[in-house]
Amino acid sequence: MRPSEWRDTLVVQIAGKEGKPPSIIELERPQGGRVRAREWPDGEWTLPARESEPSYQDWLARFERVRKDGRQVSEGNLRIRAWLEGRA
């Protein structure tokens, strides 16, 4: 794959905790306030991803809830916010 074919995405991993499975989320650049994403809810790359396109505010709220729940997130709040707002 050539660099011109690489996708411009941010991958965020959420650790599992107490019956909640880990997740791997691939976020594309926001367009028109929406963020196209692919998610592997059991942290398993070999299974088909679940695709969605929520607003960037929905993603910010989700990552905030996950952190409040005490789960580890692979990227910091500032990096995720900058990405979702199109500044990173």
User: If you average pLDDT over residues 62-67, what whole number do you get?
Assistant: 95
User: What pairing do the DSSP bridges indicate for beta strands 23-28 and 9-14?
Assistant: antiparallel
What does residue 5 show for φ and ψ, rounded to 5 degrees? -95, -10
Confidence band, pLDDT 50/70/90 cuts, at residue 2: low
Average pLDDT, whole number, for the chain? 88
Instruction: Give the model's confidence band at 5: pLDDT under 50 very low, under 70 low, under 90 confident, else very high.
Output: low
Cα dihedral angle (8, 55, 43, 49), rounded to 10 degrees? -70
Better-predicted residue by pLDDT, 62 or 46: 62
pLDDT digits (tens, 9 = 90+) for 37-57: 999 988 777 889 999 999 999
Close Cβ partners of 7 (under 8 Å, ≥ 6 residues apart):
28
pLDDT for residue 28: 93
* Confidence (pLDDT) at 1: 47
Who contacts 50 (Cβ-Cβ below 8 Å, separation ≥6)? 38, 39, 40, 41
